[in-house]
Amino acid sequence: MAQLTALINAVKSLPRRVDTDAFRQFRHEIEGLTLLVLLRILEQTPATNRIAWVNLIAYIRDLAASFNVTEDDILVRVRSSAPHLLPQYNQVFNRNEPSPNNTDEDYIKLSNALGSLKKDNHALSFDSLCTFIESFTFDASNFTRVKNAKMYQVYHELSHPEKDEFMKAYLNFNYKKQLLVEEASQNIYKPISDSSKMIGFTALHKKWIQSWIQETSQRLQKCIENDAHFEKYAFIFNHLSPEHVVSLFLTHMLSSTVPKTHAKVFSLANAICRSLRKELTQADKVVFSPANLPIVLSSDHAMEFAYSIMNLVLEGCSLPETSEVNIQGDQEWERRVFRLSYAADEDSTVKFIRHGVIQIHPVVAEHFHIYQELFQAGSYNLPMLHPPKHWTSPRDGGFFSIPLPLVKSSEPNTSDAYMKKAHHTGQLSSVYQSVNALGACPWTINEFTLTAFSSLMKSPNAPGLPATLRPQIEKNTPKPKRASFACDDTYQSALASWRYIEAQNTRKLQDARNLRIYYTMVNRLAHGFAKRGEVLYLPHNMDFRGRVYPAVSFLSHQGEDLVRSLLMFWEAKPLGPHGYDWLVYHLANLFSKSKMTMEESKEFVANNRDAIVASATNPLEKDSWWLRADNPWQTLALCNEFKSIWSFSGGVSTYTSRIPVHQDGSCNGLQHYAALGADKAAAHAVNVLPEEKMQDVYMAVLGLVREKMDALQAADTEGSDEANANTSKSFIHETESTEGDTPKAQAALARMALPLLSRKLIKQTVMTTVYGVTQYGASKQVKRRIDEALDDMPSATMSSSERSRLASFISKHILSCISDLFAGAKLIQNWLVDNCTRCIQAYDARDFPNKEKVEFFSGAHFRPMMWTSLSGFPVIQMYRKRILRVISTPLQTLVLNDDARIAPIDELKSRNGMAPNFIHSIDAIHLLMTCLGAKTQNITFASVHDSFWTHPSEVAVLSGIIREEFARLHSSGIIDNLRQDLAYINRNSFQLVWVNIGEHTEFTGELKTLREGYSEVSAKKLSEKRLNTCLGLELRDNSRINALVDKFKPTVIWQPSASGSPFIYDESSLPQAVQTKISLKTHMPLLVPVKILEAPAVGTLDIQSVLESKYFFS
């Protein structure tokens, strides 16, 4: 009790006048934790000890009042962190809050069932969780006589009143089940210490594991007793035994390294920390509640602890000296199971950055790779069994117990601050409605495609599965020997080629292994939902641009073709008069990427009717028709649907279907640009204008590229065709440093490009140019297509460097042709980027509330680019440079981002991201508007960005909504609204500009005199340091500077980058460059109010025309 009294006195003595949000939040957490501790003591105090019991209740009330913590604040904390303390809460505050589930019969049964699947240390494998989902289901016997009927079939066969009654009872049961699934899914792993129960584990492997755990645990115990470094982590071992901790670490280290032979140390430590926190929370839900964990075990301390334990595992795990395993060439490993090494980051575009990695002994990897359950460790957000919790604030929605932000952000604290302001003003109401509607769409599993998927998974080389699962490996390539080569240069070249092939083979095998693990988990989870035809829901959240995504780890309709085919709508609806035609149209366009009209689609399906039926009847048949489709798995699902329709005894219009039909935008980003610029030519190219024939923007661009290549080839008249062909490749080498600017070189490259040009080659670049693809990115895209084309030509001999050179040449002309076709889009892009530069380089005194010193000449800026979309959603580009901090651990030095310090904005990323992010924010608004329109019309709606899904019978209705909302969106003056919004955001902001001293002597003279009079500036000579002080003063009161500018009206010059040309600073959308070099000797710096550029001129497109365009979304 003395320790408790000391704790409370310490909490009471916390300063209450420290005026920072971080400290207030810290104090609030400490006070909340203290009250929970007291409620826990009350729980342990016998009611028979009446005096102590009554005194403690009174004390808790008084303490809460002194902390200024409301009853509701305490209730929120109790519900989220310690719901078992609700009875004590009710006693203290005379409330009658119900305790959730504790006495509910269904919940108790479900909880016991889940508990029976857990291991002794409370661990749960992924397979066990799926077993729980499929085996413990709602009893529908009151609604159907069919035993083990699928839930969606039970629902379908009921009358409307009965459906409501069924769903109420079914979802009430599923809610309780969902709470348990959420808790269990956040710490999935089958501990390696449980190897005795792991299918397939041999006696040898069990022996290894036992020795590793025993040796490492003994080392850890010694460290706990003798090593001061571990003293601060002693509290962890009050809740988890050393053996438990070692087993957890060893499980994660094996699961991460066996599939790929190595794992990045930082990523591995992060995953272990998440799992460790879940284990601690399981051990004590009060002390280690989500709210308290950052205080009890901070991120830095958790990472340091993880690195320390990993170091012990590296030291404690070794292969025993035994004849049971042949270990050859082990000198470099010295029988260690793991070792620390360094490797290039596969996900980084920077070739020379290397990261610390944990490697596993190849013999151990080979022995353990068959244990699939070992590789499924992690924290997963699974599809829900109950409609998601409605979003009512930026941090309250989606899952019931898993924390989920409405907006995913790299700077959650900054993002939360802006989102809270938007929430309090009510401007997020339509966003909440839309995201809630998307999450409320019920789905179920398509058992037909799941069965085919399961069958094919049994054969690693089966067609229909992604090609990466069956990689083409160049086998038995002998390592070059020096003696076989005449000189060292040719030997080194051959050796480098061999190493490249070996690295590629290893990478392909690792990718195949990882993909198989992923598909195994998808398959298992789908079976869990499919066995009883369960309903499932996909909670959604958003990225910083307002784009929505299902917030699940896998099994969502935003997955790849195979995963999409596993999902269908829960509710079946009659096809009606036109639904069959839309299924026909959908099948034809899933089969081929070249869009077909309705008439062409009908002809296609009629001509392939026998193949469609055969595909559905025998989907595993070799060379089955569906395997030739561009989207084979969704095609297979449609084949089965048509087989069912054609064998249906009733009228086609009465056939009920669950298959979604998609309507996709015709290069949707360019459609938005065409509408923004009211550009008729661009609108025609992307089907915004009504036309009798569907326009293909990719073919339009391809035609322009071919014209340019023909013209370049015709310009070169020297030599015969044969001579030109022979010299083409040589010009690639000759022009590498000159960009191929000679007519002969250009002609040679054009001649090589023409046979390779295709719709497929240019499509990705056309699609992504609207989202800011660079010349480098476009070149990589084209290079991939060239590789694919030439790999199918055995006679092709073009080297990788030659292909890269040709790709750069082609991509440059693709981008040029797109600019020609979409000139209006380029104007808008430039306008967006130029305004972005002005905004992020602006200064506002409100950004420096504590009057910090502002470095005006450092080139560093700290305000992110932001704007408010028409939906009320605040878009904030969190592109910052990194500020690092270093933590020393026994394993290695850990370098982390320093989140406590604000890093400068990465201006290059901000400018490059502005145009694509703005277009993404607009297509996000169109999606949300369409979603609300569909909700108003009471039709099914789901989406994958610019692909909108509904039932076949509701396609026509949705088609009208899509067009109406697009016209309404682009009739709202988007660019003018953005300009006004940027002007409002920057209403108190200033730009650092310059005035030429020689050209404006009177103005600069008065300005100099004014500044010399500042009391903070003690000398007459205004050095850079003193000018910086002057600008800091003027940032807070710029009235006298503004008056001088109004009086003399000097030409002010702005230089947005140190290496770029300066411009006259005004509002013109066509900035005027100035030929001058700015320096403190020739120019005077000053601050002027930020000016937002005038909107660029637009065309004469009538956006209402889109209402009549049948190919706009199709």
What gap in Å lies between CA 360 and CA 344, rounded to an integer?
Answer: 17
> Cβ distance 317 to 250 under 8 Å?
yes
**Catalytic site residues?**
664, 763, 946
Q: Give the containing element (helix H, strand E) for 944.
A: strand 942-944
- Tokens standing for residue 883: 């500020």
Q: Give the containing element (helix H, strand E) for 356.
A: strand 354-360
What gap in Å lies between CA 52 and CA 38, rounded to an integer?
Answer: 13
Q: Where are the beta strands (DSSP E) in 220-308?
A: 262-264
- Choose among 1026, 1035, 992: nearest CA to 847: 1035
Q: DSSP letter at 85?
A: G
Q: Kindly calculate the radius of gyration of the chain based on its CA atoms and give it in whole angstroms.
A: 33
What gap in Å lies between CA 189 and CA 179, rounded to an integer?
Answer: 19
**Chain position carrying tokens 């902001």:** 989
Question: What one-letter code names the amino acid at 870?
Answer: L
What gap in Å lies between CA 294 and CA 604, rounded to an integer?
Answer: 60
The residues, ordered by sequence, that sit 6+ positions from 10 with a Cβ below 8 Å of its Cβ are none
* 3-state helix/strand/coil string of 131-144: HHHHHCCCCCCCCC
> Cβ distance 295 to 85 under 8 Å?
no
Q: CA of 121: how far to CAs of 233, 496, 1065, in Å?
A: 20, 50, 67
What gap in Å lies between CA 1110 and CA 1114, rounded to an integer?
Answer: 7
The residues, ordered by sequence, that sit 6+ positions from 962 with a Cβ below 8 Å of its Cβ are 663, 930, 948, 1112, 1113
What gap in Å lies between CA 1013 and CA 1018, rounded to an integer?
Answer: 9
> Cβ distance 680 to 603 under 8 Å?
no
Q: DSSP letter at 1100?
A: -
Q: Assign 621 to helix, strand or coil.
A: coil
Phi, psi angles (nearest 5°) of residue 443: -125, 170
First to last CA, the chain: 72
The residues, ordered by sequence, that sit 6+ positions from 1015 with a Cβ below 8 Å of its Cβ are none
What gap in Å lies between CA 115 and CA 180, rounded to an integer?
Answer: 10
Question: What one-letter code names the amino acid at 408?
Answer: K
Q: CA of 206: how far to CAs of 189, 198, 247, 611, 779, in Å?
A: 17, 10, 13, 51, 51
> Cβ distance 1004 to 967 under 8 Å?
no
> Cβ distance 399 to 386 under 8 Å?
no
Q: Assign 647 to helix, strand or coil.
A: coil
> Cβ distance 750 to 777 under 8 Å?
no
Beta-bridge partners for 569 = 443
Q: Give the containing element (helix H, strand E) for 563.
A: helix 561-565
Phi, psi angles (nearest 5°) of residue 919: -65, -40
By the 10 Å C-beta count (0-12 exposed, 13-18 middle, 19+ buried), 447 is classed as middle
376 CA to centre of own chain: 20
- Choose among 297, 285, 279: nearest CA to 241: 279
Q: Where are the beta strands (DSSP E) in 683-723?
A: none
What gap in Å lies between CA 635 and CA 589, rounded to an integer?
Answer: 9
